[in-house]
Structures are given as C-alpha cells and as structure tokens.
Amino acid sequence: MLESGTQITEADSERFDAVLASAGGSALHTGPVRAAARRCDEPPVGLLAALALQAGELLLARAVRRRGLVALHGVQKLRMLRRPRSGAALRSTAAVRSVKPLGAGTATEVVVSFADESGDAVAESTSLLVHSPPLSAPAAPPAPAPGRAAADVDPARVSTYRITRELVAGYAAVSGDHNPIHLSEEAARGAGFDDVIAHGMLTFALAGRHLAERVGADRIDELQLRFSRPLHVPAGGARLTVTDRTAANGALVLAATDAAGTPIATGRAALHPPRTDRGTHRA
C-alpha cells in the first residue's frame, strides 16, 4: 500500500482542459453541446484519473522490477463519490488488488482511493495494467463474450478529435506520464508498435470531456473503458471518434474508434439524475 498527498489547483485544471481542447472536439461535435463542460472550480475527471494512474504506477515501481517489459492499460474505471474542488488537498491510497499471469506477462489490478482533508471519500480509481515482453502478450485480457446488446433508445452522440503528436506530448506534460512509447518512434517500435501510440488515458480523458460537454461534468458518476488496441499516431496525426448511446436498459454505452472505424476502447458510464433549478435531484 502507498499513501501520498496531492493538490489539484485551478491552474492545473485549466492546463489540462486546454490540452484536451486542442484536439478540436467542440468544433466537430454533432448534436447539442452544453455551454459549460464543467464548473471552473472542479477538476476534470480525466485529470483525477491521471493522478490515480501515477499513484498506481509509483506503487508498482516500488514493489516490482519490470525491466524489459512493456506497460499498457487494459481497463480504467473512475467512480466519483463526490465532486472535489480545485485547490483542495487530497490524500490518495494505492493498493494492489490482484496480480494474474497473462501470457508471458502479468495483469495487475490497482485500486487508488482519494479522500479530502476531512477523510471523506472523493473518488475511487481501478486500473488493470498489463506488463508484457515486447511483441508477445496482448495489450489487455480478452473481453468476456458479449451478451445480447440492448436496443438503443436514442441516436448516438458523436465527438471527433484530432490526435497529433503535439497533443500527445502536451498530455504527457499535464498528466506526468512520460512513457517513451508515447513520445519516441524508436521507443515505440522497440516495444513492438508500428508508430508512436497515444496514451490510453488520453482516450479516457477525451471520453470524459465528451460526456461533460453532452450531459455536464457534475452528472458523471462512473466512467469505465476497456482498451482493445493502441491508437497509433503517425507524423500526420490520427482521428479519434467517441460515441455514446443510451440503451433501453438505461445503460450509457461508449465507444472510441480510429479513422478506419476500428475499436480503440469500449465502455460504459453511469450518470446522476439531472438536477432541478434548486440543485436537488429529480425523483
């Protein structure tokens, strides 16, 4: 277990938002977009998830030697228990929930909990991190066989983002994730990829931004993505499309695809009910 403290300032949130905004999603949205993606004094969900990943990776770096292994994201889940405020001191606790063999590597589940100065729980992050030799194990454990898909009850909401190497470098700077496979062609190819790959957490952050602009950041209760393959970012850039649909069973189903329509990640989100003008949940 590893405990540490952190503070997300309003400037941190603004820099993070500015990097995501450079992907151009707002201009390329189809359908209604909210005037404000989030309250100015609340950090974006993607930033909180990035800090959780840092805590989890620091725990693993101290506990296990992983020389020569490639680290990739399998699944990322973030549950918001209550809205933190920018500038508030947060305490994080990271713990390994499980370690399982996966081919020649391992799949490690790490849980990071955030609490405020009063000790009240703020958020909980669960990450499935896959460590494998180059060109051997898959990037994530195989997904369970899907059941019968629930019928959609409304049209998909779509956001399209342009992913450039400059954007990836900017995300590395604001998230603290400087893994060279995201920044260097040589490192990426040495790890078995065709080109530089975007951070999985960049996709997660853009999915969070998509939801914030569609339904409001304050309504996001839980966001989970399973990463199916890396998004390669050639010198000319790449395209990432994020969609969400509300199914007949009430679930909010998300998908992220590349320019060819190949799935990069799939997942789901849970939302709080809309609030009334008085700030209370509708019945």
pLDDT (tens digit, 9 = 90+) per residue, 80-100?
Answer: 998 777 777 899 999 999 999
Q: Count Cα neighbours of 156 within 13 Å in the Cβ-side half-sphere.
A: 12
- Point out the least confidently predicted range of 37-41, 173-177, 193-197: 37-41
The beta-carbon contacts of 117-122 under 8 Å, at least 24 apart in sequence, are: 117/88, 117/89, 117/91, 119/91, 120/82, 121/81, 121/82, 122/80, 122/81, 122/82, 122/84, 122/90
Q: Please tell me which of 9-13, 53-57, 207-211 the model is most confident about, judged by mean pLDDT.
A: 207-211
Predicted confidence (pLDDT) at residue 169 exceeds the cutoff of 90: yes
Report the chain's mean pLDDT, rounded to a whole number.
Answer: 83
For residue 155 the two structure tokens come to 């049209």
pTM above 0.75, yes or no: yes
- Where residue 281 falls among pLDDT bands split at 50, 70, 90? very low
